[in-house]
Amino acid sequence: MKVTIYTDSTIKGPAETDGWCAAVVEYEGGRSRTAFSQIRGTTQKANLMCLKGALRLINVEADELLIYTTSTYVAKGLTSLDEWNANDWKKTDGKELKYAPHWSAIFEHIRTKEITVSTESHSYSKWMKSEMERRAADG
């Protein structure tokens, strides 16, 4: 079964800040699950946590994942997971990969699946942003 994942976060930049994460998981046939979470982190960490949370929402046996992310960091990282796993979550220079535990958890969820990644806008983009802004304004 093909599952499409959409993620976004309000956290932008390298500083640890508080913000919101949005995830929508859409199954073939139109069923979907949605989650919003308050999180703390850098933009990279926040987007990894959003994807990790979205993967936990999947409650069917998926063999194909289409992942929409606003993060080029996440999109690029997803193409390196096999290599990082083989190198014990270290970069080519031997240094430990930043956020290695998050990348490892994501890898465990997707390692047997066909993955396609996009950073393009999608049908949920505006709604996710407005919903996160509304939740942030509500405190």
**Contact by Cβ (8 Å): 115, 65:** yes
**C-alpha to C-alpha distances, 65 to 28, 79, 109, 116, nearest whole angstrom:** 11, 13, 11, 6
Distance CA 107, CA 119 (A): 19
* pLDDT value for 30: 87
DSSP 3-state of 13: coil
Distance CA 97, CA 44 (A): 13
Q: What's the average pLDDT block by block, 10 residues per block, for the chain (139 residues)?
A: 96 95 94 96 97 95 96 96 96 93 97 97 95 91
Predicted TM-score (pTM) of this structure? 0.94
* pLDDT value for 105: 97
**Domains in the chain with CATH codes:** 2-138 (3.30.420.10)
Q: What is the DSSP code (8-state) at residue 12?
A: -
